[in-house]
Amino acid sequence: MLKTTDIIDEKEKILHQKCKEASFPLDKEDINLINNSIEYLRLSQDEDKAEELGLRAGMGLAFPQLGKLKRIFVISYKTEEGNFIEYTVINPKIISYSNELVYVEEGEGCLSVNREVEGIIPRHARITVGFYDTKGNYIEERVREEISVAFQHEIDHLDGILFTDRIDKKNPFKNMDKMRSI
């Protein structure tokens, strides 16, 4: 099982490198990393388990955060009903996006950024993404709101961009009045 210490800290240069496309079939190591990442995210969203295992809560994890420069990430989002919406995303490309911009009201977080960060990141409220699943099947998915933000955040990781890079240093809440908070 993954531990919080397996996740690379923002100071590491690898997080600012662009990832290479993954090739199919995926190797066993990649499949194991995908499964372990989903398990970590699920457990991290259960307060008791997270405390017991010392996990930081998260809903997305990209391969560069685990030291692999491959265009792969997973999302595991716990709904209010307690179900999980999960994605394994390989070689994603944003096909289209809404003009409407949103930001996460309490601020975005990242399992690689272990500190409080002030500011907002403009994100598209809805995006359509093309990607492959673990078997190499092509999927197009329209995602919205929190899932859209998570996809954009994780795609940034694959391009060597941290959410902190997207915050305006001089005016961290710039254009906040022109966006909707979620």
Q: Is 42 exposed, middle or buried (0-12, 13-18, 19+ CB in 10 A)?
A: middle
Cα–Cα dist 125/146, whole Å: 8
Burial (CB count <10 Å: 0-12, 13-18, 19+), residue 35: middle
Between CA 99 and CA 161 the distance in angstroms is 22
- Is position 52 annotated as part of the catalytic site? no
Is residue 150 a contact partner of residue 89, using CB atoms and an 8 Å limit? no
- Separation between Cα atoms, residue 139 and residue 171, nearest integer Å: 38
Nearest to 75 by CA among 46, 34, 26: 34
Q: Which residues are catalytic?
A: 154
